[in-house]
A = this chain, B = another copy of it.
């Protein structure tokens, strides 16, 4: 089965932009859920990134004949028992903005007073017509800083710092992010697992 169009199971324009950039050298036309006028939202009931990625891919692939790539990703902070984890985007409750979540995270970390080690995790699942065909997971390790830095990216990017570069995710160039990010790592593995 050769594919020419791939649907990313997201309504998040920042996430879609990252996938478009990561896949810019492929033959594929990359579509988001909005491009297909799919407005439905599914509850992310999984307890792991992999479960949620599979859930999104499976559910949205029932809305289209095209292959659908589900992505679930988030931040795990060691001293917070891996929170916010799968709740990364809901960490400060419904209706909260990125800056609210960042504030809550930094506050909790200051109270906890432990390690600032963290990792961004991305789980991907590729599905077609309700069945998951392929899965992959990638990570990027860093530390959480107190003061947000950088204007790029989204979510927790401004407080996630990669020590080797001395830059936050929000300060990375597009090329750097495409090379280093948890999403790039997961996507590289997924592509290399597509069988010939």
- Residues of chain A having any CB pair with chain B under 8 Å: 1-3, 23-28, 67, 126, 128, 133-134, 138, 173, 175-176, 178-179, 184-185, 187-189, 191-196
A196 touches B27 (CB 8 A): no
B196 touches A134 (CB 8 A): yes
B3 touches A188 (CB 8 A): no
Across the two chains, which residue of chain B brings its CB closest to A67? B196
Q: How far is the CB of A120 from chain B (nearest CB, A)?
A: 14
B27 touches A189 (CB 8 A): yes
With A25-B185, A173-B175 known as contacts, the answer to whether A191 contacts B191 (CB < 8 A) is yes
Question: Residues of B contacting A196 with CB < 8 Å?
Answer: 1, 3, 67, 126, 128, 133-134, 194-195
With A175-B175, A179-B175 known as contacts, the answer to whether A195 contacts B25 (CB < 8 A) is no
Q: Which of A126, A176, A192 has the most CB of B within 10 A?
A: A192
A25 touches B194 (CB 8 A): no
Question: Residues of B contacting A188 with CB < 8 Å?
Answer: 23-27
CA–CA, A37 and B128, complex, Å? 42
Across the two chains, which residue of chain B brings its CB closest to A128? B196
Question: Residues of B contacting A138 with CB < 8 Å?
Answer: 25
CA–CA, A128 and B25, complex, Å? 24
A184 touches B134 (CB 8 A): no
